[in-house]
Structure 1
Amino acid sequence: MGTDLRNRQAHHRHRCSVPERGDISKTDVSYTNRVQPESDPQGGRWRIVGLAATLTTCLATTVLFMFALAALGPFLITDLGIDRTAFGAITGAMFLTAAVAAPRAGALVDGLGPRRVLLGVFALAATGLVGAALSPAYPLLLVAAVAAGLALTTGNSVTNRLVAAHVPSAAQGTLMGVAYSGAQVSALLTGAALPLAALAVGWRGALLLSAFIPLLGIAGAMMAVPSHPPHSEQARATRTHDRELIRWMSAYAFLMGCGATGVPSYLALFAVDDLQLTPATGGLAVACLGLAGILGRVWWSRQTHAAHNPAVTMAWLAGCSCAIQLGLLAAALTGAAWLLWPAALLFGLIPLSWMPVAMIAVVAATPFETAGRAAGRVQRTLFVGAAVTPPALGLLIDVQGHYRGAWLALTATFALATLAAWRPARSETIRLSTDAMKGA
């Protein structure tokens, strides 16, 4: 009798066992990623449009705190009586929080589900903005930055997971570019509107007004994001996790995170301090950067998805970023205010466009069920670079009394990023990983 019972248990375990990931014929639909065709194509297109709008709002709100501070920097420094090192430390605290939480962000998305995490992102972003607006003293601004950092750390992971789960492969590159342009939408809106709002209602009132954006995002997430991922028809989990690609992406992300965070954080202050422009004009420069960034992120994402070679694309982005940063350095050396405008436009088009290209590579090179974790690892190094750069640049500016040393340091950072990208671009392992994108 005991033998019969053991035989029945063994037979039951055999029938219920999870198939090996390398065996496509036995792979269960829960391991798959290719979205089934919609029975209602028109309705499916509208659902993707709604998802794109919601994810764009999500990534706009994750950096809204940083761009709002950048646009309102001249008002905030004057009102609180702080130096540029302390000002940069606010943004640094935001990114430091994101760096600490990043390793857990992907697992959180994979565990709780992207819809719940997305709602949490909007709630935390609103909390950070309202907290900063109501803070009576500088230390409480740092506390508000922690809430904003928690929103930032999960925004990219949840976006990657939702795109992988709900968007057909052919449209993923374009939608990633649209969604990741949300950060530049944030720069455009804050740079154009918040300095003018601060003249009318003060910088605190301007921050309160900006908190309505994540509240709109909550409504969009409730309507546009499904509660459960769709069923799929073909296994994607047969691709192994490319550790070499993730390590390379992490190093590149650190360097680009340093460079691409420093300029937006101090561009408005540079216009006021070194070029003798008004705070409203400095905010307009940030808006120009954001407007160009919207176009740049969409265009570079589409080009990367078509070429299937993100390593080469990233090398070009970093090299061009180095040249553009030299333009800002020339403006600091000569005092030529007109150089601010082409530099801001080109900086938005190129240096700020690297992130969606990187995320396309992460989504393509990792299995569906671990895409959130892989994105979290890459983001952690990005956030570390972004955390140390604003306070370090602020200290350099305070000590030197000008922006020349700061802009030179960022030029060197972009040069190192170029070197970091070209070697893996020629690697056979990276080429094999990018070939896998054809099936993404």
Structure 2
Amino acid sequence: MSTDTADGTDAPATEPTGGAHDTARGWGPVAAIAGWQTAASACYYSLFAATGLLKPAFDLSGATVGLFLTVGLLGYTLALFPTGALVDGFGERRVMLAGLAGLAVAAVGVSLAPTYGALLAAAALLGAAYSTAMPATNRAIGASAPPGRANLAMGLKQVGVTAGSGLASGVFAAVAATTLVTWVAGFRAVAALGVLAAAGFALVYDGRPGSGRLATPDLRGLGDNRSYVLLVAAGFFLGAAIFAALGYVILYVDEGVGATVALGGLVLGATQVTGSVGRVLAGDLADRLGGAYGAATVTLGQAAAAFVLFGVLAAGVESVLVAGAVLLGIGISVLGSTGVFYSCLAGLVDDEDIGAATAAGQTSINAGGMVAPPAFGFLADTAGYGTAWLLPTACMLAAVVLLAGVRRTA
């Protein structure tokens, strides 16, 4: 049962008991959520940042490094629906605190791994702990964003993903630059960051209570929402393009246009920066257009721009400057689309379903991320990078078609 508030939204008819409080809306809570996302992403993306140090430490091949990363993503994906149910049932605050604690424990577990098998197990646990991120933070943003600024707030929160990834890269770059410490210290440093962030978050964020019961996600109910189904389907193709691009930027700059690995690393870092800018700008524009319709419109525009940019790479680029400029544009477009993607998703479902709905959306993105990179690598090895870039080009075309359907029905 609910009553109408002054701004026309629904509010609970009675206050929940047990010490839970509704989160105040404003940029302060949004900043706290973004800080949580940054710390959580630093812990998870330490798996990617540490590969250069783990490879010699465990005498790994390129394939076993890839398996290590895949296991982390698999643990992340498999745990999404359980954590989504926990968020819907018990509120985001508890899940976010438990998630950071789990990330810290798992990061320490990686640092203690004596064998490759133990390393894989710790990576899976780290990924599972990170599964708390999207369902919980999306619900938190829905509860905390200032009225009419939900898309911008979501974009700012999503910057925490790229900021955390960059922070992890900085930690392990510092470790690699000194002979006084090893990769073990890097994982323990991000674990300490997770503990500190959890303590600070507990002090400043109250959260919104859940339903009070743990239930299996009602995917059948979500399946009746045509706009939501189309958006989740589009997420698969967005994820495929995102992970294919992130996974091969460095190798493409080195092998495809004849530059160096070091320059490729700089380009990859720059795409993360432009991706962050894209998330903020896209969120602000979506707010101006309004609601789920605005978010769908902006996501559609970003996907269309990415389709053109990937097509340029597929047509063949020989200049390092041109390739770099196109990749920066891909950062603003498809890498910068995740914030408005989740804003659109949150606007299409009921508040009590956000956890499960986000879990399905992130699962779709992750599925694309697990399928596309091996296919891209195979095409690059057998037919060249021009042919390989046709894969994300086709993915963006499919995303454009699906997102156009979302926009019509939102």
Q: TM-score, normalised by structure 2?
A: 0.80
Q: Extract unaligned runs of 5+ from structure 2.
A: 17-21, 211-220
SS at match of 2:206: coil
The answer on whether the counterparts of 1:107 and 1:372 sit within 8 Å (CA) in structure 2 is yes
Partner of 1:58: 36
Work out whether 1:29 is the aligned partner of 2:13: yes
Distance 1:292 1:212, change over 3 A: farther
SS at match of 1:168: coil
Work out whether 1:288 is the aligned partner of 2:270: yes
Backbone CA RMSD of aligned residues: 3.6
Q: Extract unaligned runs of 5+ from structure 1.
A: 1-17, 33-37, 231-239, 434-440
Distance 1:213 1:392, change over 3 A: farther
Of residues 217, 221, 225, the one that matches 2:205 is 225
Distance 1:421 1:20, change over 3 A: same
Shift of 1:98: 2.7
Distance 1:249 1:316, change over 3 A: same
Partner of 2:116: 138
Rounded to whole Å, the distance in 1 between the matches of 2:238 and 2:372 is 11
Distance 1:183 1:83, change over 3 A: same
Of residues 188, 191, 200, the one that matches 1:211 is 191
- Counterparts of 1:171-210 in structure 2 under 5 Å? 171-191=149-169, 194-200=172-178, 201-210=181-190
Of residues 259, 279, 284, the one that matches 1:302 is 284
Which deviations, in whole Å up to 9, do the C-alpha atoms of 1:177-215 show, x marking residues without a partner? 111111121233344553353232454544443334323
Shift of 1:400: 3.8
Partner of 1:436: none
Rounded to whole Å, the distance in 2 between the matches of 1:372 and 1:282 is 37
Rounded to whole Å, the distance in 2 between the matches of 1:356 and 1:262 is 19
Shift of 1:297: 0.6
Rounded to whole Å, the distance in 2 between the matches of 1:186 and 1:354 is 17
Rounded to whole Å, the distance in 1 between the matches of 2:51 and 2:332 is 23
Partner of 2:399: 417
The answer on whether the counterparts of 1:67 and 1:186 sit within 8 Å (CA) in structure 2 is yes
Task: Say which one has the larger Rg.
Answer: 1
Distance 1:203 1:320, change over 3 A: farther
Shift of 1:313: 1.9
Of residues 328, 333, 339, the one that matches 1:356 is 339
Shift of 1:275: 5.8
Which deviations, in whole Å up to 9, do the C-alpha atoms of 1:338-374 show, x marking residues without a partner? 3453244223211112221122122222222222222
Partner of 1:6: none
Which deviations, in whole Å up to 9, do the C-alpha atoms of 1:100-149 show, x marking residues without a partner? 22222222102222111001221232334333344344333322221232
Rounded to whole Å, the distance in 1 between the matches of 2:160 and 2:109 is 22
The answer on whether the counterparts of 2:286 and 2:298 sit within 8 Å (CA) in structure 1 is yes
Counterpart residue type for residue 120 of structure 1: A
Rounded to whole Å, the distance in 1 between the matches of 2:143 and 2:321 is 46
The answer on whether the counterparts of 2:30 and 2:145 sit within 8 Å (CA) in structure 1 is no
Rounded to whole Å, the distance in 2 between the matches of 1:142 and 1:319 is 38
Rounded to whole Å, the distance in 2 between the matches of 1:64 and 1:28 is 36
The answer on whether the counterparts of 2:44 and 2:127 sit within 8 Å (CA) in structure 1 is no
How many residues get paired?
Answer: 385
The answer on whether the counterparts of 2:274 and 2:336 sit within 8 Å (CA) in structure 1 is no
Of residues 127, 147, 154, the one that matches 1:169 is 147
Partner of 2:297: 312
Work out whether 1:407 is the aligned partner of 2:396: no
Distance 1:335 1:129, change over 3 A: farther
The answer on whether the counterparts of 2:277 and 2:336 sit within 8 Å (CA) in structure 1 is no
- The percentage of counterpart residues that share the same residue type is 24
Shift of 1:264: 1.9
Distance 1:414 1:394, change over 3 A: same
Work out whether 1:345 is the aligned partner of 2:359: no
Counterpart residue type for residue 377 of structure 1: A
Work out whether 1:87 is the aligned partner of 2:65: yes
The answer on whether the counterparts of 1:86 and 1:394 sit within 8 Å (CA) in structure 2 is no
Counterpart residue type for residue 119 of structure 2: L
Shift of 1:401: 9.6
Partner of 1:35: none
Shift of 1:254: 0.8
Counterpart residue type for residue 316 of structure 1: G
Quick one: higher RCO (CA 8 Å, sep 6+), 1 or 2? 1
